[in-house]
Chains A and B, each alone.
Chain A
């Protein structure tokens, strides 16, 4: 109950891109899984990350804090182009991104290829 599944895939655009495919709703009970997986790939050298939310319809503040953590960790890397982008967030997540002002710093895409090539 309340579990999320996270799968990581690698894509090649102008730079190598890591995609975190999350399946399930993200809340205070499971966001740690996302924190841990993101920290693991950033530690392993990932600088360009797409959070694929195709199979996530709901996210509480815990999920936004995870997103914030990933953003901050990428800013701290030595790559100037390091960043986090979102793929297909639900309308509700898009609305919240705007409400809390995350949309200015984290771009959103509806197409994976477009997202990969945006880095």
Chain B
């Protein structure tokens, strides 16, 4: 079995913590060997997912979000776990009316679009203990042999 590097961060569900979350993901993604664009993309996807969990999962409730990064040889996975009522952010409509003039667009689903666009897979799981788990995965580019 390939060696995996695991790190995690637990923060309160508060939009003011998005910056801390982005920095944590950026560092983990860089260390995993993800490309520069891949790092930016994953950081954005996690930010969008966490913003959704805070605003639409927890709403006014207080609670935590735990972010666990698992970096392996060929992929990096970010698991977002929360203890909010059942909420699947991926089920929110994914706004794809990007060919419409700007003033005719509904922009509600842009975050979900950006989560999917910047990851290789996004999967929601309802945990046995009632919490939510969202797993975002990015594949690492195969390294070119010397």
Contact = CB atoms under 8 A, between A and B. Distances in A.
Check if A and B associate.
yes
Give the most central of B20, B22, B103, B117: most A CB within 10 Å. Answer: B103
A27 B15 contact: yes
B47 interface: yes
Interface of B: 14-20, 22, 37, 40, 43-44, 47-48, 51, 54-55, 98-99, 101-103, 105, 107, 110-111, 113-114, 117
Q: Which label, helix, strand, loop or mixed, suits the secondary structure of the B interface?
A: helix
A101 B99 contact: yes
Given A61-B111, A64-B107, A2 B16 contact: yes
Interface of A: 1-2, 25, 27-30, 58, 60-62, 64-65, 68, 71-72, 75, 92, 95-96, 99-102, 105-106
B54 to A, nearest CB: 8
A90 to B, nearest CB: 9
A53 B25 CA distance: 23
Contacts of A27: 15, 18-19, 22, 47, 51
Given A72-B102, A100-B98, A65 B110 contact: yes
A45 to B, nearest CB: 20
Give the most central of A2, A30, A72: most B CB within 10 Å. Answer: A2
Contacts of A96: 44, 114
A2 B110 CA distance: 21
